Amino acid sequence: MAIDYNKRPGAGPPDAGGGVSLSKVTLTKASPSVSLSKRGQAGGQLRVNLQWSTGAPQKKGLFGRLSGGAGAIDLDLACLWEFSDGSKGVVQALGNAFASKNTGAPIVTLDGDDRTGTNTEGENLRIDLGRVAEIKRILVFTFIYEGVPNWAAASGVVTLFPASGAPVEVRLDESDPQARTCAIAMLENSGGDLVVRREVRYIQGGQKELDEAYGWGMRWTAGRK
């Protein structure tokens, strides 16, 4: 679905935490959040990438097709955004909404729509953390644009790459075969402290239902690529 940019705020600040290793921070149910500000990573460009494995030796980006025929699937990376001035919207390939609408250069952009799986880098969201003061919250999610849900087989991994320091990883280690959408991670500014929180919450529906679950308060209309 595409959106009509309007309406209300929501949500509260998460707790800081996070399972830390030498090479990366992995967010889990037990340690669901980490502060980028406290780690000195709330600056520069944050790249958000989602990869998957089909179980075969070869890996491919999470945004293409499993194979031809009945098993084909097209997953899209996207985010809902809300800024400190009250503006809000969505960045996604659907409706050609590849950038956030804000004053100056876009704070959030999507680099493209890989519908074939041939792009080894998958799809990437890029978030300008040099403008943290303008960000209220950003919800990173993925949805199945085409194909039958098979989250368990996908073994999806979302990695957030800050401009410096260790990456932050969220594994899609749960599944719901009835759901077409998965909220992956929330970035939230709490008094200048930018926190990343693991969500891995499956939604039986599309962007409208995701919006309702997180209280974004936008009006949605049908959209297409």
Find the helix or strand (DSSP H, E) in which 211 lies: helix 207-214
pLDDT of residue 20: 43
**pLDDT, tens digit (0-9, with 9 covering 90-100), for 103-143:** 999 999 998 654 444 445 768 999 999 999 999 999 999 88
CA separation for the pair 58, 158 (Å, rounded) = 18
pLDDT of residue 148: 65
What's the chain's Rg over C-alpha atoms? 16
Portion of the chain with pLDDT greater than 70, in percent: 72
Classified by CATH at the fold level, domain 2-11+33-81+101-132+147-221 comes out as: Lipoxygenase-1 (2.60.60)
Spatial CA neighbour of 199 closest among 185, 180, 179: 185
pLDDT of residue 216: 96
pLDDT at position 98 over 90: yes
The reported pTM is 0.81
